[in-house]
Copies of this chain bind each other. A is one copy, B any other.
Amino acid sequence: MPDASDTKTHFAGRFLNLVSKNGWEFATRTGSTGVVAIVAITDDDHVLLVEQFRPPVGKFVIEIPAGLAGDIAGSESEAFAEAARRELLEETGYAAASMRELQTGPSSAGLTDELITFFEASRLTKVDEGGGDDSESITVHAIPRAELRAWLTQQAASGKLIDPKIGAALWMAGR
């Protein structure tokens, strides 16, 4: 959330506000402290991806697991790693013995104050089916890392959108 002092709220929604600061309009999420996104790589070198319909873009989007971080007691860094574990388990059904923080950056710095904290998850164990919470309908894909570029090209050709955060997280992780 931006400083209230010099910020004007033009519309307050349930999940999103439209505000301006010194005349610069942007969107800001309500009710969360940030966003976490997780590139998860299995012991046999598969990358876990999720697919879901995204109303704003009106298409199915292939993404890395991601979600909102809430207000959890403890340090902000610990809370984000905890949120990353929760989101990974919820969306893919995998528990991670290792969750390494990579980098925090803006998703679209001219349009929103949203910041995404990236993690690399490894030493994974499948403990559940995944698929998201009750409000979500998520398909899980486990793609061999060596075949990922070709697979993404196929998916894009079939009309799906590919989230640039997939490549961003892999580059950050040195993969």
Contact = CB atoms under 8 A, between A and B. Distances in A.
B27 A111 contact: yes
A108 B10 CA distance: 21
A13 interface: yes
Contacts of A105: 61, 161-164
Number of copies: 2
Contacts of A56: 2, 21, 24, 26, 28, 106, 109-113
Interface in A54-110: 54-58, 61, 63, 103-110
Interface residues of A, number: 56
A154 to B, nearest CB: 13
B163 A167 contact: no
Interface of A: 2-3, 10-11, 13-18, 20-22, 24-29, 54-58, 61, 63, 103-116, 118, 149, 156, 161-172, 174
23 contacts: A10-B11, A11-B11, A13-B25, A15-B25, A16-B18, A16-B25, A21-B55, A21-B56, A27-B27, A29-B111, A54-B106, A54-B110, A56-B111, A57-B113, A61-B106, A103-B156, A109-B161, A115-B161, A116-B164, A149-B174, A164-B172, A167-B171, A168-B171
